Structure 1
Amino acid sequence: MIAPTGPVLSSNSAVPITQFHPTITQEALEEKVIIIVGGANGIGESLVELCCQNGAYVCIGDIDTPRGAPLSLRCCEKWPVYSDPNLPPKPPRSTFQAVDITDYHAVLNLFDFAFKTYNRIDHVVVTAGSMEPKENWFDCTLSLQDIRTPPSTKDLDINLTGSLYVVRVASVYLRHNRGPGVDRSIILFSCAAGFKETPGVSVYQAAKHGIQGLMRSLRPYFCSPYKHNLRINTICPWMTQTHPAVTKKLCDRWEEEGLPISSALQVAQVTAGVLVDDTLNGTSMYVEGGRAWEMEANITRLEPQWLGEAPSKTLTRGQKVLEDVWAA
């Protein structure tokens, strides 16, 4: 499934949205080298274990050394790498590198470390994130005195700026030491707040919209064989059990309403499914209760309905001009 970048045709709202069923095999992950930024906790931790279990090499990058380093060690012990005694020894199943995603040089050091250890990088996944629900930039109780104190930019720095840093560095490293026809990809983590208004987390939501915009801006550019020849996709989980903002009060109300909630492993399985499917570029997987749906194809297909037939045609023509001039 490749997100369309050509002309927008008349829509047919009767066409059902396609549910994504991840297919993860050991053959697809065997010997792949994967950097997982934010891999020490939650969804990232589950993804690290899932990839190692299926024969991949995983470099964990995270600011949380007390959890990341032991996780790497456990993966090495649980899924050891066996080397032919007549050949050079293989690298460890998993490694850990402390990294602050908001520090550009720390991100560079992570990729230097991974490349030196494994001699190539196949896939990069950014699960690192931040949500500070108590830091409401637009609280209705703010006074003229309160606004003289600058608010925290942590949610923007980690969720958006940090992801921009990783994607910039990854786009270069993923091109190195690759043979013809070898798949390389980047997966970014947005969430339901990346496309649906969510009360109380305005800055976090702005950052996640930025992740969606980043992916959409790069999907026609990165995939070009004459440029980067990479795939880029996003994962948009809704409620997930391990999210730090999921309090007992919220969980109790969620359960009362009978609403679905995903486990970290279920989101990790969807992520791994996108990672190994080399037909996927420019997609956004909405994950709800462990099930996933691809959104981008339907957003594009239905554009004549939500924007209007005439504006949609004009917009398409104009976008083509911008692509021809700017992308060149």
Structure 2
Amino acid sequence: MIAKTVESTSGVPVAQFLPDAFKDFLDDKIILIVGGSNGIGASLVELCCQNGAHVVIGDIDAPRGEQLARKCIQQWPVYSDPALPPKPPRAFFQKTDVTNYQSVLDLFDNAFKKYNRIDHVVVTAGSTETDEPWFDHSLSLTAIRKAPSNKDIDVNLIGTLYVTRVASVYLRHNRGPGVDRSILLFSCAAGFKETPGVSVYQAAKHGVQGLMRSLRANLNSPYQHSIRINTICPWMTQTGNSFPKSVEDRWAKEGLPLSTAQDVAKVSAGVLCDNSLHGTSMYVEGTRAWEIENNIDRLESQWLGEEPSQTLAQGQKVLRETLVA
């Protein structure tokens, strides 16, 4: 929860994000994590439960999700005052297909029935079909006739759109004005930097970044319900969906930073807990994180030019004032 400005090697100040302790902020919060059965999502589930939150896990992987929910219930039990109604369980799993809108609605409906409110929603669900040749030099006139898989678009972008749409409504209910709540979306370094071999995945992650930017200016309006929205942009991360061994070997040889799922989960929890963060993107490399949106905006006049930047700002103001109205 501490963001500080440090000098980079280019002389341009950048904001390094330093997550702080979570217990005081996560205790008794209701957090819904879509894609929480494995990898970063599972690490975030455990971190939140460890620090007193109640977590709803939505995922297509039922065996792993159910096992994780049982682990959290056993390892971090909920203690209730015998004189009061019993508290809901530490964790709850529901099988969810983010590409199916009704499945997403069912997840939120059941979470709300069980916990009576939702404080934060995280979308970690993702797909990377590196063996699906949408764009490949080996494609022929024959091969191009077979329609490619849409899974990367459906899971990474359509699923994120579905969850965000439903979350934006559910987060308003049973929470008074001024109570912090948020939506945290998972993009990727590929969401802002070109990455070879994953064209469709990258297009989807750019879409996630665009979704956050489109909503950050008016997600609260006209309700003023204090709904924040941010993104996490991990770089190379050690999860079950590993890169080819040739990439891993070269990465290690070059001494490049490699994040663990726990590293990214810690940054994610920090963003959930810091109610000053809204409309930010955290680029995660190894154990460190850097906020990138502020510099993109701050340096616009340098990379776009002073006059075009001023004209663009004037036009965007007109669009905001007329379209939002």
TM over 0.5, shorter chain: yes
3-state SS in 1 of match to 2:19: coil
Q: Is the 8 A contact 1:241 1:264 kept in 2?
A: yes
3-state SS in 2 of match to 1:222: coil
Moved more, 227-236 or 79-88: 227-236
Q: Is the 8 A contact 2:22 2:270 kept in 1?
A: no
CA shift, 1:228, in A, is 4.8
- Is 1:85 the counterpart of 2:82? The answer is yes
Structure 1 residues 205-244: Cα deviation after superposition (integer angstroms, max 9, x where no partner): 0000000000000001113463553100000000000051
CA distance in 1, matches of 2:240, 2:280: 23
What residue number does 1:234 align with? Answer: 231
3-state SS in 2 of match to 1:36: strand
CA distance in 2, matches of 1:44, 1:52: 12
What residue number does 2:137 align with? Answer: 140
For the aligned residue pairs, the C-alpha RMSD in angstroms reads 1.2
Structure 1 residues 156-194: Cα deviation after superposition (integer angstroms, max 9, x where no partner): 000000000000000000000002321010000000000
What residue number does 2:43 align with? Answer: 46
3-state SS in 2 of match to 1:95: strand
- Is 1:69 the counterpart of 2:66? The answer is yes
CA distance in 2, matches of 1:107, 1:77: 27
Aligned amino acid, residue 142 of structure 2: Q
3-state SS in 2 of match to 1:226: coil
- Is 1:160 the counterpart of 2:157? The answer is yes
- Is 1:308 the counterpart of 2:300? The answer is no
- TM-score, normalized by length of structure 2? 0.95
CA shift, 1:290, in A, is 1.5
CA distance in 2, matches of 1:310, 1:270: 37
What residue number does 2:266 align with? Answer: 269
What residue number does 2:173 align with? Answer: 176
CA shift, 1:74, in A, is 0.5
**Matching of residues 111-150 of structure 1 within 5 Å:** 111-150=108-147
What number of residue pairs does the alignment pair up?
317
Q: Relative contact order (alpha carbons < 8 A, sep ≥ 6): 1 or 2 greater?
A: 1
CA distance in 2, matches of 1:184, 1:18: 23
CA shift, 1:327, in A, is 1.1
**Matching of residues 147-296 of structure 1 within 5 Å:** 147-224=144-221, 226-242=223-239, 244-296=241-293
- Is 1:320 the counterpart of 2:314? The answer is no
Q: Is the 8 A contact 2:177 2:226 kept in 1?
A: no
CA distance in 2, matches of 1:228, 1:109: 23
Aligned amino acid, residue 270 of structure 1: V
3-state SS in 2 of match to 1:17: strand
Which one has a larger percent strand, Structure 1 or Structure 2? 2
Q: Which of the residues 96, 101, 124 maps onto 2:98?
A: 101
CA distance in 2, matches of 1:18, 1:250: 29
Gaps spanning 5+ residues in structure 2: where?
2-9
Q: Is the 8 A contact 1:171 1:228 kept in 2?
A: no
